[in-house]
Amino acid sequence: MLIHAGPGAGKTLGALLAFQAMQREGRFSRVLVFCHRTSILEQWQRAAERLGLHLQPWNGPGSAPLQADGWLVSYQGAGRQSEALKAELALWSDGEHLAIADEAHHLGVEPEEPEGPVWGRTFLDLSQRARLRLGLTGTPFRADNLAFCAARRVEVEEAGERMEQIQPDLSVEPRELIAAGDVRPLEFRFQDGWVEHSQDGQPDREVSPLSSEQRESWRARNLRRAIRLADSSSIALQLLLRARTQLERVRQHHPRAAGLVIARDIDHARTISSLLEEQGDRVDLVHSQDPGASDRLNRFERGDADWLVSIDMCAEGFDAPRLRVVAYLTTVATRSRFIQGITRAVRLCGERASKEAIPRDPSFVFAPADPLLMQYARNWSLTEPYRIAAPAEPRIAEETGQGGAWRGPSLPLEAVGDGAGAVIRVRTPELPKFLQR
């Protein structure tokens, strides 16, 4: 069974409540939960404790008691010790447990090579004796066109071509959650500007508009330049300053509100952190090479830092309802990663929910005015079908004025300068009209 629902829909709580109800009915005795990060395992454990369920992390033979209501294991840990885990699971009664795959889109299985990706193969192997496999995801698509484990497929016809799509058993779109008041709407502020290009050894320079560049290679080069933190007129710095100002406004009625900056790499993240600290802000910097990153992420929600600066550690599954502003300063321009990043700011806690009317107060996203990112912003609250055998995604046109394919300049181009321009505002257009008024 596959459940698709956006961030803030309550997938974790819903799955635990369903297990608890069926445990009382005698349908299940235990649950085995797979997650992609240790910090997410800890979130599951805390959520279970609030329901009176006792879930224990499995870190190796003998590490989790048999009398627990269930075990928690990371995909990576299960893959490293699959035989040991399988041996201990053999002590559980056949067909009496539920296997949950959190963020199930990580369990890709290539349709032509079902023995491919390790995580998917590990999950299939270790959940063979389960009565039910339950996949939870808010991301039913991937750029590599891999299929899901434990998911139903349907054949559809699109543009005259037959292809397979994943069929979730339950799907809840973000716009439905917004209309119900379960999550916050998002408002977008795209920082426009121009990027100057030059060719090696050539004195002439060409200016490219960030928001309207249609040549893919130039668009990508523009984005790389736009996220660089240069002088005070640079696109990235103006974006960051506007994000800080917006956070100050939000804090007038939400004092504990915080912001998230998604950076390109560790050096970029450190530079951003230093700039924010120079402004007097309290910053938590987390990245995958920091052994204490998971603990710092867990402390952030309860702490008093103004900003969380990260590369990819809080892209999905990270739960921090006090996040209200996101600054997207990375060159990753896929729809899935963009939406995973910006939707960290849609959650809200019970305390805020009791104080705010529906629709909830919006959160804010600041990003360079890249054409792809603006396109994603216009339809982020809609769920796209997950295509297993989809045609190649259309790319932004790369053409000359005379027609024919444009294959790039004869000499390598370098983006040598940039300057901030106007701010382009985008509201989510797919909301019901009564919510847009």
Query: Residue 393: is its pLDDT beyond 60?
Result: no
Question: Tens digit of pLDDT for each residue in 29-44?
Answer: 999 999 988 888 988 9
Q: What are phi and psi of 229, to 5 degrees?
A: -95, 100
Q: E strands of 227-383, at which residues?
A: 258-262, 283-286, 307-310, 323-328, 363-368
Q: What value, to the nearest 5°, has the Cα angle with vertex 423 and ends 421 and 427?
A: 160
DSSP 124-181: HHHTTT-SEEEEEES----TT-PEETT-EEEEEEETTEEEEEEE-SEEE-HHHHHHHT
Residue range 198-225: mean pLDDT, rounded:
81
pLDDT digits (tens, 9 = 90+) for 171-183: 898 999 999 999 9
When the pLDDT of each residue in the chain is averaged and rounded to a whole number, the result is: 83
In 312-412 the beta strands, taken as DSSP E runs, fall at 323-328, 363-368
pLDDT tens per residue, range 287-333 = 878 887 778 887 888 889 999 999 876 656 677 899 999 999 999 99
Phi (first) and psi of residue 47, to 5 degrees: -65, -40
Q: What is the pLDDT of residue 56?
A: 96
| 359 preceded by a cis bond (ω within 30 of 0) | yes
Element (H, E) at 375: helix 371-378
**pLDDT at residue 201 is higher than 60:** no
Phi first, then psi, for residue 152 (nearest 5°) are: -80, 145
Angle at 263 between CA 304 and CA 336, to 5 degrees: 105
> Mind listing the pLDDT tens digit for each residue in 97-107?
999 999 888 88
Mean pLDDT over 180-188 rounds to: 95
| Max mean pLDDT range (239-248, 316-325, 376-385) | 239-248
Intra-chain end-to-end CA distance of the chain, in Å: 38
Pairing, β 70-74 against β 30-35: parallel
Selected residue with higher pLDDT from 111 and 74: 74
Sorted by where each starts, the structural domains of the chain and their CATH numbers stand as 2-172 (3.40.50.10810), 178-436 (3.40.50.300)
Contact 179, 403 (CB under 8 A): no
Cα 409 from chain centre = 35
Question: What percent of the chain is modeled with pLDDT above 90?
Answer: 49
Task: Please compute the mean of the pLDDT values over residues 379-384 and round it to a whole number.
Answer: 82
